[in-house]
Structure 1
Amino acid sequence: MPRIPIVTNGIYRSIEHRATVDTEKERLSIATFYNPNVDAQIGPVNSLITEETPALYRTLECQEYFKGLFGRKLDGKAYIDAMKLDSAEH
């Protein structure tokens, strides 16, 4: 599942899920997941890329994205940082 900031080119950000108990009010949480086709491209949506808002993240085939995500060393950095384009690549 690609992170929301990659697909939305940083316009929408994922939030950390936190829940608190409210004894007065009922709460319902629904988790949703999506898995693109392995041949799909993972990257910012084309309609969000303009001269004013250039791509912030690279585009990869889905299988390459997951290879990088699951094959990386745990060096303290998030994989989303590896997906960011350098300013010279814009």
Structure 2
Amino acid sequence: MSNGVYNSIEHRATVNTTKERISLAMFFNPELDADVGPAKSLLTNKGDPPLYKTLVMEQYLKDFFSRKLNGKTFLEKMKIRNDEES
């Protein structure tokens, strides 16, 4: 959604033998007919074209869970330039 403007950090956990660790998973799921892709507010400059595909959420989920990635991460598969290279 950030079109590459904001990068996620790698997530890791360290085991601590003296303290209990609690993890919370939080999910955000748009409606199945909602468009999922780069936020329009981050594409305001002509020099900032979308770097990733926009899909309907239902298709995004089907593609994500099909795992036909051929050695690529799903994020790499969503890049528009990958369509041109294929």
TM-score range, shorter chain: 0.7 to 0.9
Query: Aligned pair count?
Result: 82
**Identical residues among aligned pairs (%):** 50
Secondary structure at the counterpart of residue 82 of structure 1: helix
Matched, 1:43 2:33: no
- 8 A contact 2:69–2:77 mirrored in 1: no
Q: Distance in 2 between matches of 1:82 and 1:42?
A: 14
Counterpart of 1:18? 12
Q: Quick one: which amino acid aligns to residue 72 of structure 1?
A: R
Q: Runs of at least 4 residues of structure 1 off by over 6 A? A: none
Mark the runs of 5 or more structure 2 residues left unpaired by the alignment: none
Q: What residue number does 1:3 align with?
A: none
Please point out which of 59, 67, 73 is paired with 1:64.
59
Decide which of 71, 84, 88 is 2:79's aligned counterpart.
84
TM-score by length of 2: 0.74
Structure 1 position 8, deviation (Å): 0.4
